[in-house]
Amino acid sequence: MKIQEASDDNLRDPWEHSTWNEQALSIQARNSGTSDGAIIVQEYTNKLKGDDKRRVIKTHASYGLRPWKTQCDGRGKIIVVIRNPFDAAISMYHHACDVRAFDYDGSGGLEEFINDLWLPGKVESGDFWKWMKGWRVAFENFKNIHWLSFEELHSDPHKAVTDIVNFLNLDRVTAADIDTIVVNSSFSKMKSNFEENDRKKLAEGKKIKPNHIRKGGVGGYKSVLSEEMQVKMAEEHCERCAKDDLDIGIFSFV
């Protein structure tokens, strides 16, 4: 069976079609010329209310800082995607180095970053384990939350997409549609789409985040972290899961 790939006309920039509220609000605040947070939030909220086509939002917020007022038991559905702390730490290191606003050049190296910033929770979105705990409790209490790991997406994308389709009750999505989704949401496809979008933005004089779509692999930490650091992180992971009453079994390692 031939899988249909999305045409260039159908490719959509995720930054434009799935708003990351924290980033969008931060940009609006920087460009507003005012330090009055209430005004900035109200203006941004009014803008969203005027967009009747918005169906998907993205957030990196902890459960307590989720960008909506109600608990997660309403009509909306939430998909929480997690990643093991080893690969997540490495990804955060490169992210911190690439975002100019952090003013961080990574000159101390990856392991210094992990010791001084990652493990203490002094990074964007805060403490890794507290973030996990908040959303896990919500998942265990509300039926409209789907829990998914990056490792599952990587190892069996067809099953992961099928599970998402079933969770969202998308009855009109066929098996052929799922095959198409898997192809067009592959890491290689996503990377090429981002590169094309970045070329267009640069040509228009817009800023981009270099290296945003980097490797997308699983288990890369094994080749970049010393054995000593791997042991330290494993011990920290076990201790934090026990301390926060977080089931260590929810994490996948390859």
Residue-wise DSSP of 156-189:
-HHHHHHHHHHHTT-TT--HHHHHHHHHHTSHHH
User: CB neighbours (10 Å) of residue 89?
Assistant: 23
Render pLDDT for 31-65 as a digit per residue (tens, 0 to 9): 777 666 666 666 666 666 655 555 777 889 999 88
pLDDT band of residue 187 (cuts 50, 70, 90) is confident
Distance from C-alpha of 119 to C-alpha of 240, rounded to nearest angstrom:
10
CA angle 110, 113, 114 (to 5 degrees): 90
Confirm or reject CATH 3.40.50.300 for domain 77-250, answering yes or no. Answer: yes
Q: Which tokens is 123 given?
A: 């990074």
Domain spans in the chain, listed from the N-terminal domain onward = 13-58, 77-250
Question: Could you report the per-residue pLDDT of 190-216, keeping only the tens digit for each?
Answer: 777 667 776 776 777 776 666 666 566
> Under a CB-based contact definition with an 8 Å cutoff, are residues 103 and 97 in contact?
no
17/118: higher pLDDT: 118
Q: Taking the CB of residue 213, how many other CB atoms lie within 10 A of it? A: 15
Across the strands, what pairs with 149? Answer: 82
